[in-house]
Amino acid sequence: MAAPAAIHGILQGATPVTDIIGNRLFTVYAPVETPKPLQVYAIDDLRPTETKDSSRELDIVPVSLMSYSTSYDELHDLMNKSRNALVRFSDTINSTEIDSIILESQKDGYDTDSKVYWGEQVYKMRVK
């Protein structure tokens, strides 16, 4: 599936996002010692849309984007800039044709053990 490459391409191509995280964008897992802020994304599952002739027309791909920062304000700045980069994106990137992306949910919190603020955004990608 090319959805991870598309998410990576969109976020790394968004200067407002990379101005905050640089190249600290990871798939599924970030090493614990990685400096904050950073982001981690994961594909939650795949929901193919089938037609009666069995050819795929559209996949619905839920993507979780986790953001981490030592500052609450920076966390929300990063989440807002990521949202601006992703929501309503419609183009071909890294050989993946994206029909649209919408934000499905968002929440935040604080991890007292690691002393880091975290935010989770769940997006739905419509992939052709």
For residue 107, give the 3-state DSSP assignment: strand
For residue 18, give the 3-state DSSP assignment: helix
47 touches 63 (CB < 8 A): no
Calculate mean pLDDT across residues 105-122: 97
Question: pLDDT (tens digit, 9 = 90+) per residue, 54-112?
Answer: 565 788 899 999 999 999 999 999 999 999 999 999 999 988 899 999 999 999 999 99
Q: What DSSP element (H or E) covers 123?
A: strand 116-127
Q: What is the CATH number of domain 3-127?
A: 3.30.2000.10
Question: pLDDT (tens digit, 9 = 90+) per residue, 26-56?
Answer: 999 999 999 999 999 999 876 666 666 656 5
Any idea where the domains of the chain sit in the sequence? Answer: 3-127
Grade residue 19 by pLDDT with cuts at 50, 70 and 90.
very high
The pTM for the full model equals 0.90
99 touches 127 (CB < 8 A): yes
Residue matched to tokens 């996002």? 17
Taking alpha carbons only, the member of 105, 35, 103 closest to residue 71 is 35
Q: And the tokens for 58?
A: 């559209």
